[in-house]
Amino acid sequence: GQNIDQPTEMTATEGAIVQINCTYQTSGFNGLFWYQQHAGEAPTFLSYNVLDGLEEKGRFSSFLSRSKGYSYLLLKELQMKDSASYLCAVSYQTGANNLFFGTGTRLTVIP
Amino acid sequence: NAGVMQNPRHLVRRRGQEARLRCSPMKGHSHVYWYRQLPEEGLKFMVYLQKENIIDESGMPKERFSAEFPKEGPSILRIQQVVRGDSAAYFCASSPVGGSTYEQYFGPGTRLTVT
Non-local CB neighbours of B61 within 8 Å, separated by 6+ positions: none
Can you tell me the distance from the alpha carbon of B54 to that of B78, in angstroms, rounded to the nearest whole number? Answer: 14
Reported as a pLDDT band with limits 50, 70 and 90, residue A96 is low
pLDDT for B17 equals: 98
**Under 8 Å between Cβ of A85 and A36:** yes
**Under 8 Å between Cβ of B72 and A3:** no
- Rounded to an integer, the average pLDDT of A71-81 is 97
CB contact under 8 A, A96 and B105: no
- Give the count of Cβ contacts less than 8 A between chain A and B: 63
In this structure, the strands spanning B75-79 and B19-24 are antiparallel
Question: With 70 as the cut, is the pLDDT of residue A87 above it?
Answer: yes
In this structure, the strands spanning B110-114 and B10-13 are parallel
Reported as a pLDDT band with limits 50, 70 and 90, residue A97 is low
> What are phi and psi for residue A82, nearest 5 degrees?
-75, -5
Neighbours of B54 (CB within 10 A): 14
Contacts of A44 in chain B (CB under 8 A): 106
pLDDT tens, chain B, 115 aa long: 579 999 999 999 999 999 999 999 998 888 999 999 987 788 999 999 998 899 889 899 989 999 999 999 999 999 999 999 999 999 999 988 765 557 789 999 999 999 9
The chain B residue lying nearest A29, using CA atoms, is B101
Can you tell me the distance from the alpha carbon of A5 to that of A25, in angstroms, rounded to the nearest whole number? Answer: 9
Determine which of A98, A100, A103, A105 to mutate to test the interface with B (most B C-beta atoms within 10 Å): A98
pLDDT for B99 equals: 59
